[in-house]
Structure 1
Amino acid sequence: MKTFRCPSRHGYAAEISPFLPSRLACAASQHYGIAGCGTLLVLDQDEGGIKLIRSFDWNDGLFDVTWSENNEHVLVTGAGDGSVQVWDTANPRGPLQVLKEHTQEVYSVDWSQVRGEALLLSGSWDHTVKLWDLERPQSLCTFRGHEGVVYSTVWSPHVTSCFASASGDGTLRVWDVKMGVSRLVIPAHNAEILSCDWCKYDQNVLVTGAVDCGLRVWDLRSTRQPVAELLGHSYAIRRLKFSPFHRTLLASCSYDFTVRIWDFSRPEPLLETLEHHTEFVCGLDFNLHIPNQVVDCAWDETVKVYIPASLADLQPCAD
């Protein structure tokens, strides 16, 4: 396991570059995101460990980060002051753009996976999701419907005009960008939902994680009840990700200080519990280039990169 320590910065999100297997980013905040500034850390990993390539400061906490799908140097962060920042790792002077329309904290940002497009989603505590084209100064559309904080916004990896959002109102919504409306509303939990993600192998399958400590896997063709319910965390689930290499495998991290690995196709779905943090674990991602490698970050001021023992000998899915 490789560890990078960022003193006085508490990790909120970590994501590995879609271009470079060694490059990763962490969005972090001072004072646990309650007060102070935020820092974007751009890191590189090698056999010797993890080293800092560049860091950028913002005057409010940073809560999420996403890499551009078009340019290996460009990243986007969401901040506590309601703004979205576009950064260039080759330009140390500050953000290329600052987008400011949200009226409260931006807790989620996600770049469209369609190469050649510069489309971005931002989800906010103001109950809205905004769609941005980074070649334009104003948002293209504001999606309204959630009755609580929007904690998570994720583009579908299968349908280019579709995304999902998860909210403090307990619902998972699936949106049609062309129509500007949510075409499906799932009352997924009787609690705030903090994270959602799409299966990389099936356009109809998503997972949600909530304050009720449970993960639920959903099939959009039949939403009366979840396909699977994964129990084991003892506090709220902060973030979860489907594996890019296995159809039914996913990871979750929680305020219970753990990261857990699951396979929802098995009778006993919990494969492993990792207890290598001493504070809330908030950031989580799989490496698209190195099978089964995971990055996470926590409020204990560390970023960790590793391959879980339960996945060490697991071969990538054939399809």
Structure 2
Amino acid sequence: MSPVHDSNAAGSAPPKGDAQVQVRFRTRQSQHAVADTAILVPAKLRRYGLSEIINHLLESEKPIPFNFLIDGKFLQTSLNAYLEANALSTENVLDIEYVQATLPPTEAATFEHDEWISSVEGHPVASLVLTGSYDSQARVWDRSGTCKAVLKGHEGAVKAVAWIPLREATGTKHRFLTGGQDHKIFGWEYTNEAAAATTRIAYECVGHTGSVDALAAHRNGLQFASASYDGSVLIWSTDPTDVEEAEPRKRRKVPGLSSAETGGIALKRAIKRLTGHVGAVSTLTYEQSSDTSAALYTGGWDHSVRIWDVESSTNTATMNCEKVILDMDHSALSKLIVSGHTDNFIRLWDPRADDGLVVKLKFGSHTNWVSSVKWSPTSAYAFASCSYDSTVKVWDIRSTTPLYTLSGGDVAKDEKVFAVDWVGDYIFSGGEDAQLRSFSCNV
């Protein structure tokens, strides 16, 4: 077969003496498939030139950008440089996978807060976003930027928020959690009726003696977990009726709300306490499975990720690294864990590993602490991160460099970004600039 060259001009040829290499293209995107035949191409080609070849073979009217993978990793150099780096010659046939490149995320909207934003979680179904702030309040937003509810109850910064999945889908009723520096967790009920939105505190969870820094609800909606600066992990029922009797001495009033508005707040006690971490527990996430036996993963200042069998309250495995773990997330698609750290790195873990090497990859690009990480809900490869370096980054685990870097704050002012979430086609972030940012993203 005649060689295909890095040009759309008919009859063009590489300069004399240019090395060529045989490649075989393949893709999992059937709409872009080409013949599975080895062809000769100039070894000097990079991503742009290879894209031109695929477009030529597809006879595309409008050029489509592609990314290219060899041995499961994105090609970030020329083919020649890849051959040299891997001690290969031009006699080798390279199997190259290609995928359509995605457009960079675009900023969709900003939501103004009065104070720093500490935590963000988008609703998985409804077009709502929940935020926690250092002004001791949480807020419910719609995606147009309208604040639907301001939640007053905490006496310190709201450090963690989480939606509780409902077992029966409903368009107007929602439940969620907030945790704060006041050691408290509140369970809330929110009704978004056409006439007016109503919010009430269903219960207060007591048991932590330090700041509540992370919350995670099980996908079955029956339980949730909390992590605290006090070094403990507590497991709670989400049942709003599973509370202590409404005796006056067991109820307390909330600053800013009258007793008529709250009616007092019933107390909830933890059903399990998981102990094992040495020092603060900063993050936790459930295995993304609706199975009641789904594992719980926790991470903290003792540099460990721990795996828990919640039913038996057993720490079944401990995975260690060199630095403090600030945040982590588990992927339902890849079954991997991604974590952010105080050494500015992101680590990729495989909790199923039996070879002793649980940290599979390290990603370096942030220039300050990596405060939050979140997997894409639709891709086994993509995740987002944010950092104290004022940026939000979008990654693909097949590349050691980020796909995109987004503004999460003013770099000149060193505005830290504390939280990131990825729901559907949107990435949300918040931090020191008191702006909840949303980015439209189709990675």
Q: Does 1:251 align with 2:346?
A: no
Conserved? CA contact 2:365–2:401, under 8 Å:
no
Partner of 2:366: 233
* Separation in structure 1 between the aligned mates of residue 394 and residue 331 of structure 2, nearest angstrom: 15
Give the count of matched residue pairs. Answer: 290
From 252, 267, 270, give the equivalent of 1:139. 270
Residue 182 (1) aligns with residue 315 (2): yes
- C-alpha displacement at 1:155, in angstroms? 0.8
In structure 2, give the amino acid aligned to 1:198.
H
Alpha-carbon shift at residue 74 of structure 1 (Å)? 1.1
Aligned counterpart, 2:333: 201
State the partner residue of 2:129. Answer: 24
- 1:34 maps to none
Identify the residue that residue 260 of structure 1 maps to in structure 2.
393
Bigger relative contact order (CA 8 A; separation at least 6): 1
Residue 419 of structure 2 corresponds to 283
1:12: which partner in 2?
118
How far does residue 60 in structure 1 lie from its aligned partner after superposition?
1.5
The letter of the residue matching 1:41 is: R
Q: Report percent identity of matched pairs.
A: 22
Q: Among residues 54, 61, 65, which one is paired with 2:157 in the alignment?
A: 61
Residues 112 and 93 of structure 1: is their aligned pair in 2 closer, same or farther, counting only changes over 3 Å? closer
Q: Is the CA contact (8 Å cut-off) linking 1:56 and 1:92 kept in structure 2? A: no
Partner residue in 1 for 2:143:
45
Match of 2:84 in 1: none
Q: For the aligned residues, what is the CA RMSD?
A: 1.6
Opposite residue 65 of structure 1, the aligned amino acid is V
Q: Secondary structure at the match of 1:169?
A: coil
Cα distance in 2 between the residues matched to 1:265 and 1:138 = 44
> Which structure would you say has the larger Rg?
2
CA distance, structure 1, for counterparts of residue 298 and residue 359 of structure 2: 17
Distance 2:199 2:344 in 1: 41
C-alpha spacing 1:139/1:250, structure 2 compared with 1 (3 Å) = same
Q: Which residue of 2 aligns with 1:119?
A: 223
Q: Once the two structures are superposed, what CA deviation does each residue of 1:177-236 show, in whole Å capped at 9, x if it has no partner?
A: 122111110112x22110111122133x11111101111101121442521110011111
Report what 1:317 is aligned to.
none
Indicate how the Cα distance of structure 1 residues 98 and 224 shifts in structure 2: closer, same or farther if over 3 A, else same: same
The answer as to 2:188 corresponding to 1:87 is yes
Alignment of 1:91-102 (within 5 A): 92=198, 94-102=200-208
Larger % of strand: which? 1
1:171 to partner: Cα distance: 0.5
Say if 1:76 and 1:86, in contact at 8 Å, map to a contact too.
yes
| 1:224 equivalent in structure 2 | 357
Structure 1's 225 and 138: CA in aligned 2 closer, same or farther, altered over 3 A? closer
Q: CA deviation at 1:81?
A: 1.3
The separation in 2 between residues aligned to 1:223 and 1:55, in whole angstroms, is: 47
Separation (CA, whole Å) in 1 of partners of 2:282 and 2:385: 15
1:53 deviates by 0.6
Report how far residue 160 of structure 1 moved: 3.6
Secondary structure class of the residue paired with 2:318: strand
Deviations, residues 103-122 of structure 1 (Å, cap 9, x unaligned): 000000111101xx420100
Shift of 1:61: 1.1
CA separation in 1, counterparts of 2:273 and 2:147? Answer: 36
- AA at the equivalent of 2:357: R
Contact residue 149 and residue 199 of structure 2 kept, 8 A: no
User: 1:33: which partner in 2?
Assistant: none
Instruction: Verify the 8 A CA contact 1:11 1:303 in the aligned structure 2.
Output: yes
Asked if 1 retains the 8 angstrom alpha-carbon contact of 2:334 and 2:381, the reply is no
Q: 2:439 aligns with which of 282, 306, 312?
A: 306
Q: What is the identity, as a one-letter code, of the residue corresponding to 1:275?
A: S
Q: Is the 8 A contact 1:230 1:269 kept in 2?
A: yes
- Alignment deviations for residues 225-269 of structure 1 (CA, whole Å, 9 cap, x no partner): 521110011111111011111101111111111111111113x43
Residue in structure 1 matching 2:232, options 128, 138, 156: 128
Give, in angstroms, the shift of residue 146 of structure 1.
0.2
Q: What residue ranges of structure 1 are gaps of 5+ in the alignment?
A: 31-37, 315-319
